[in-house]
Amino acid sequence: MPLDLDDVKRPKKRWLPMDGHLSGVDLLVQFIGTQETQRFRNRLEGDGIITVTKDNPLKINAGRDKAFFREVTVRYVLDWRGDIKPEGAAYDAEKMADVLCAYPRAFELLMQAVADENSFFAPEQGGLMSS
């Protein structure tokens, strides 16, 4: 794949299919680079939502689960589609945070997807979507 210099700074996003209980639902997720990820993590730590130590790179602080999942949905998830009830429900970060709390597998898939930079550049994986 050639290096497209016009594409370097364009936001990268792709549709991520869920599985298990959420099969039939897709999330539109965005890629953020290493520096932005570190700023995001630093902000969560500064807000007391997570603690980062040498032994535990990310520990959600007691009672801050909902705040953590809300911040993750705001940062990484742009939209949803598929088998969602009520039908036609508009994307809502608060409701998405509830989904991540209730379905650990959804959170796992989301974190795997946003960590896989290559999938945002591979057209067959839904990458390189225009903004």
Is residue 23 predicted with pLDDT exceeding 60? Answer: yes
- What span, in angstroms and rounded, lies between the C-alpha atoms of 80 and 89? 9
Q: pLDDT digit string (tens) for 62-117?
A: 999 999 999 999 999 999 999 999 988 999 999 999 999 999 999 999 988 888 77
Domain map of the chain by residue range?
A: 12-125
Task: Give the mean model confidence (pLDDT) for residues 10-34.
Answer: 89
DSSP 65-112: HHHHHHHHHHHHEEEEEES-SSTTPPP-HHHHHHHHHH-HHHHHHHHH
Nearest to 96 by CA among 115, 69, 64, 67: 69
In the structure, what pLDDT confidence band is assigned to residue 12 with cuts at 50, 70 and 90? confident
pLDDT of residue 77: 96
- What span, in angstroms and rounded, lies between the C-alpha atoms of 45 and 47? 5
Task: Give the mean model confidence (pLDDT) for residues 19-48.
Answer: 91
pLDDT of residue 119: 67
pLDDT of residue 79: 96
